[in-house]
Amino acid sequence: MSGLFSTLNVGVRGMTAQQGAIDVTSHNIANANTDGYSRQRVTMETTRPSNTSPGQMGTGVQISSITRIRDTYLDYQVRAENGTMGLNEGKDNVLSQVETVFNGLSDTGVATLINKVYASWQTLSTSPQLSNTRTVVAQQSKALTDQLNSIYNQLKTVKDDCKAVIKQDVVDINSMLDQIDKLNQQIKEVKIGGDEPNDLLDKRDLLEDKLSTKFGITIEKKTYGGEDLKATDGATGDLTLVKSDLTDDVKRFSYVSSITPKKDTNGIVISGTYDVTYYKNGDMSSDNNKVTMTMELSKNAYTSLDQGRVLVADKDGYAVDKDGKKIAGMEFIGGDIVGTQIPLATGTTYQLFNPTTGELKGYMDVQVDIDTYVNQLNNLAKGIAFSVNAIHSGTSTASDAGNEKDVFNFFVNSIKPNAAGEAEITAGNITVNSLIINDPMLIKVGTGNPPGPTDGTRAAAIAKLKDVKFKIQGISDNSTRTQFLSDNTVVEGSSTALLTISSAPDGMTVGSYFTTIVNGLAITVQGASQNVTNHGALLSKLEESRTSTSGVSLDEEMANLIQYQHAYAANAKIISTVDELLDLIVNGLKK
């Protein structure tokens, strides 16, 4: 009897083990299309045998573990490539927008408009007595300045869009870090209890995959399935974002929403001093998360902060200095200002996150490119304005002569109070003098006092500027007309005498300068697109390799299901047979 009951137990254990295997297989099939799921396998082992004569007798089977199939080396490779792909995709997306904004060499692009402006001056030089030729000059020039204004503003918008992506990334990153932190503790609890938290491990790995597209991460395995997660910072080294042990001594990120020049009590801007406002953990849904700090920033520090925008913070979102200490600032809670405002001496004690790869890095770096294109566009605007104004006014020295009609500028700064001023002119504010727009007859066409009705010598000289080479590439933010023309041979004129400009050595014409910008942009965009294609192919191959290891194959699972089904049925047959034998013994004895 004891032998039959022992056999019965063997059959029960067999059915139980095969049922568990069927459950795991069903779980795999159900999650065949679940993102981040790793297929699981049942490991079976024999149960402890019984000691009987003449030797040990087997007692059946049991499930020793349910493990997920995962290759950690492939995980490392995929995550490293995720960071590179995120960087290149971010650059490619933005640079493609910039290329579209410039509109290249199309019929409505800047290059075509530049040619039309100089052509209109040439036409005017041959027909100075016609009012419509003057109107064409004014309108073609206004079309050019409007296009420059539009490109400038669109580039600024593209840059703002980059910052918006960075802001959203900060929110998403902090959320993922909090989730990984919670999963860490849940996994450890399950591990300590002696079980395998396979589905929790999958969730954590999936979050780490997504996080790796934002910036480079390193992961250190700890006991009981815990992990320490760090971000690679090019400035300060690794930043610990998640620890296996539950602690608040980890870093998070906050987003700088504005950098505003500081003003004194009289409303005068304090040079180099700024009010820097950031939102804790990037959460701009409430002013309770807003903190403002006063900082002294050099030009380079301002540029880095403006392009980066991501501050290293403590777990509560407060910005920390390079020693990890909270930086004091004004907080706005319930509409009231709380906290202490402490001006920083140098503005360099804060930690600006400087990722070495990933989407964040891409959107930070591409802003440098945008600023470069804005500066080049500003140089183009200055070059056009300075050269045309010099001949139109008859002097190589800039004049802000207001409404003096004998000496004034053709191109002016639209935001300056003085309508004729060209100081601080950029692609964003360049326009045609409103006096000329309202009265094209004010355009200076000839020389002499007064010029003859058919004298178009000044207009002809402006038309020839199309072929004059200038040091446009050497213009700075503070360049004046005199400095711009210092490399050219200039024969001074006056309001009645013609000023002439000869080409500068190693200079560029206005048209060729813009063409160089467009061609350089096209090459950069092509390179970025090629990088995306190349790294996309590599990432696809790595993910394919990982899927072949960890992914669910429905064909394989169906084959396993049939195998476990037959084993289950066989064990059921054992139980049925033992039942018949027990019935024979028990009921047969009654007879």
pLDDT of residue 205: 96
Same structural domain, 125 and 152 = yes
Same structural domain, 450 and 383 = yes
Cross-strand bridge partners of residue 277: 258, 292
Domain boundary among 484, 510, 536: 510
Lowest mean pLDDT: which of 240-249, 349-358, 390-399? Answer: 390-399
pLDDT of residue 400: 53
238 domain-assigned: no
Same structural domain, 398 and 343 = no
The span from the CA of 286 to the CA of 332, in Å, is 9
Share of the chain above pLDDT 90, in %: 66
Specify the pTM: 0.88
Task: Please give the average per-residue pLDDT across 413-429, as a whole number.
Answer: 81
Model confidence pLDDT, tens digit, residues 37-93: 999 999 999 998 887 666 678 889 999 999 999 999 999 999 999 999 999 999 999
Name every residue whose Cβ is closer than 8 Å to that of residue 88 and which is 6 or more positions away in sequence.
Answer: 362, 528, 531, 532, 535
Q: How far is CA 254 from CA 118, 167, 283, 332, 451, in A?
A: 50, 9, 8, 16, 65
Asked whether the beta carbons of 27 and 74 are under 8 A apart, the reply is no
C-alpha of 163 from chain center: 8
The span from the CA of 348 to the CA of 322, in Å, is 9
340 domain-assigned: yes
Same structural domain, 495 and 389 = yes
Could you tell me the pLDDT band of residue 347, with boundaries at 50, 70 and 90?
Answer: very low
The span from the CA of 198 to the CA of 28, in Å, is 12
Same structural domain, 500 and 398 = yes
523 domain-assigned: no
The span from the CA of 407 to the CA of 444, in Å, is 9
CA 259, 307, 297, 287 torsion: positive or negative? positive
The span from the CA of 355 to the CA of 169, in Å, is 13
Task: Please give the average per-residue pLDDT across 510-518, as a whole number.
Answer: 92
Could you tell me the pLDDT band of residue 412, with boundaries at 50, 70 and 90?
Answer: very high
Same structural domain, 102 and 14 = no
pLDDT of residue 403: 45
456 domain-assigned: yes
Number of independent structural domains in the chain? 3
559-567's contacts with Cβ under 8 Å and 24+ in sequence apart are 560/21, 560/25, 561/22, 561/25, 561/26, 561/29, 564/18, 564/21, 564/22, 564/25, 565/18, 565/22, 567/14, 567/18, 567/21
Let me know the angle formed at the C-alpha of 268 by 264 and 270, rounded to the nearest 5 degrees.
Answer: 65
Share of the chain above pLDDT 70, in %: 92
Tokens of 324: 């990890």
Q: Which residues of 558-580 are buried (b: 16+ CB within 10 A; e: fewer)?
A: eebbeebeebbeebeebbeebee
Same structural domain, 505 and 373 = yes
* Averaged pLDDT of the chain: 89
Lowest mean pLDDT: which of 9-23, 95-109, 394-408, 447-461? Answer: 394-408
pLDDT of residue 267: 82
Q: What domain range is 328 assigned to?
A: 252-352
Three-class secondary structure of residue 529 per DSSP: helix
Same structural domain, 386 and 492 = yes
